[in-house]
Structure 1
Amino acid sequence: MPLTDEQKVVRAAKRQMTNALQEEARAHRDEARRREWVEKGMYLTREEAAAGKPCHGCSLPVIDNLGSWPGTMHLSPEERMGYDAAEARFKEMHPDCGSHR
């Protein structure tokens, strides 16, 4: 049985509320993580990263100026294997980061 227009509106509103609550929770987690890094002396500003200061977690440069990867759909199979291996190493060294390398 198809939904009525009213049911569609209610579902859309619920979906928007769910998305908003998820985004708010993510923002709170990110802010808590940033505060933790500041308290532990691990927070690295964009300026420090651009100046060449290494990551406090893995001691590798945050901005390595090695260029950027093209979109993964444009990588050859060999390039994709290298990309995936580098991504796996990053996730191993930064399990709670939530970012990408």
Structure 2
Amino acid sequence: MEAMERRREERFEMEIPAIIRVSRPSANRLELVTSNVCSGGAYFHTPQPLPEGTDVRIDLVLNLEKLKTLKDDHKQVYVELKGTVIRTESEGMSICFNQDYQFRPHQET
């Protein structure tokens, strides 16, 4: 079966800033940008992908001005997700999202 046949969700070529943390205390954070996104996961270009099977927490940073249907006093909102690295390559990694997520306003400091 080809990769395109296995995909259930439509993928979109979108560059969305993201903060990725390994799901353990005192883990470093990666600041990456998505290459493509679907409702089930995303691909991130990085020269140092995490190992397959690594559980991660992901904050996708969305610009509210580009999302005209959302109204908020904040300029950005985080979509906080959890997922697992399912594929790594020399130039990046694929992360599969689980079904738990929440929207959180970005607090300017």
> What TM-score, normalized to structure 2?
0.20
Higher helix share: 1
Q: Flag the structure with larger Rg.
A: 1
Higher strand share: 2
Higher relative contact order (CA 8 A, sep 6+): 2
